[in-house]
Structure 1
Amino acid sequence: MNKYLIVGLGNIGAEYVNTRHNIGFKAVDYLANEANQSFQTAKLGDIAEIRVKNKILLLLKPNTYMNLSGKAVKYWMEKENITPDRILVITDDLNLPFGTIRMKGKGSDGGHNGLKNIQALLETTQYPRLRFGISDDFAKGKQVDYVLGDWSSEEINQLKERLQLTAEAVKEFALAGLNNAMNKYNGK
């Protein structure tokens, strides 16, 4: 059976639960809840396993904090013998409007410390990622406060529908491949 590693990036701790930076955690939580699975604490993160038709999706929430996410990704890739093309890293993106999805098979870290660490430890930029737009609606010098801030009430109202779309994109990635998923979901 084909196995995929779906990594939701975020920070551990109650103070981060509803922050924009934790959208990766929210996305894999959504997938696990939808499949009636719960996360178990394991080495370097919380893990849940779901099946989508004939594919196994290993959902990972690294507990290393954002800036050291690569340590958990590398460990679980090696432990489960998963190649970089079967990883999907879900992260927040300031350069996309709220709720917009953009999937790519490779690319720069875009200044994102989680992606920067993954790239350094995997020694490649060639791994799929799904960027979830959090917009850039903050005043000059307030980026950290914004990213680590809670969702607005308007965003919260739209979040469930956006997470559902993200979950569909993840499943499409596993079932039909990255190119099909990009064609179907990018920009939505």
Structure 2
Amino acid sequence: MWLVVGLGNPGAEYEKTRHNIGFMTLDSLVGMSGAHSASSSFHGELFKKSNLLFLKPTTYMNRSGLSVQAVKQFYKIETDHIIVIHDDLDLPFGALRFKQGGGSGGHNGLKSIDAMVGNGYIRVRMGIGKPVYKSQVADYVLSDFSPEEQRLLPEWIEYAAKASLELIRHPIDYVASHYTVKKPVWGVS
């Protein structure tokens, strides 16, 4: 059994924000896999397709670990079979990287998951860029993508969703060598 988690904040006011790129990618995964709604308990929305579970925590970002822990315990999922898709300030918009374990990088959703289930899960890091000043981080992650970024989002989200599924089929090193995007190419013909 595998659990794929997309991080974000519930509510229409956060729907198109940078912090919700994990939710957006999870929605794409649910659609492309044909998963069906399995439960609205576990402090989140849970979807299922054979041995794959897809989770959107509804606890707000800084309490995402409650949702992940509830699903992990109920379905007895090993930590290394959990994939978390999240926004990453340290990467430019459109970059995509993969990592297993390590620190949270200051990401409140990852801090919460680390505290509840440990940090041995796989991370799909989706770059959102960062503001000029550190004091602007909270407003920046909760702001909508620019019109140009919004135009490029569908292609990038689809690519990230496909790469996330590859993590279930192949070791992380293989996926990282084939799907990492360091310099974004979205919208380039």
Instruction: Give 2:84's aligned residue.
Output: 89
Name the residue aligned to 2:150: 156
CA-based RMSD of the aligned residues comes to: 1.5
Distance across 1 between alignment mates of 2:99 and 2:49: 23
Is the contact between residue 5 and residue 56 of structure 2 (CA under 8 Å) also seen in structure 1?
yes
> Contact 1:96–1:135 (CA<8 Å) still a contact in 2?
yes
Aligned residue in 1 for 2:185: none
1:62 aligns with 2:60: no
The aligned counterpart of 1:19 is 17
Unaligned runs of 5+ in 2: 183-189
Asked whether the equivalents of residues 172 and 180 of structure 1 are also in contact (C-alpha less than 8 Å), the reply is: no
Query: 1:178, CA displacement in angstroms?
Result: 1.8
Aligned residues of 1:49 and 1:57 also touching (Cα < 8 A): yes
Question: Following TM superposition, by how much is the alpha carbon of 1:141 offset from its aligned partner in structure 2, in angstroms?
Answer: 2.3
Q: Tell me how far 1:36 sits from its aligned partner.
A: 3.8
Of 132, 136, 142, 2:130 maps to 136
2:55 is matched by which residue type in structure 1?
L
Matches within 5 A, 1:33-72: 33-39=31-37, 40-50=39-49, 56-72=51-67
Gaps spanning 5+ residues in structure 1: where?
none
**Aligned-partner Cα distance in 2 for 1:9–1:169:** 17
Is the partner of 2:40 in helix, strand or coil? strand
Q: Name the structure 1 match of 2:114.
A: 119
The C-alpha deviation readout for 1:149-188, integer Å capped at 9, x for no partner, is 0111100111011011101111110011222111211235
The structural deviation recorded for 1:38 is 4.8
Question: Taking every aligned residue pair, what percent have the same amino acid on both sides?
Answer: 43
Q: Give me the TM-score of the superposition, normalised by structure 1.
A: 0.90
- Whole-angstrom CA distance in 2 between matches of 1:108 and 1:89: 13
- Output the CA distance in 2 between the equivalents of 1:16 and 1:82: 29
Q: 2:2 — aligned with what? A: 4
Deviations 1:57-96 (A, max 9, x none): 2100001111011111111011111101100011100110
| Contact 1:93/1:134 (<8 A) preserved | yes
Which residue identity lines up with residue 10 of structure 2 in the other structure?
I
Deviation digits for residues 101-137 of structure 1, max 9, x if unmatched?
1110111000001100111111x32211111000114
Match of 1:107 in 2: 102
TM (norm. structure 2) is 0.90
1:30 equivalent in structure 2: 28
**Structure 1 partner of 2:74:** 79
Q: Is residue 185 of structure 1 aligned with residue 179 of structure 2? A: yes
Letter in 2 for 1:100: A
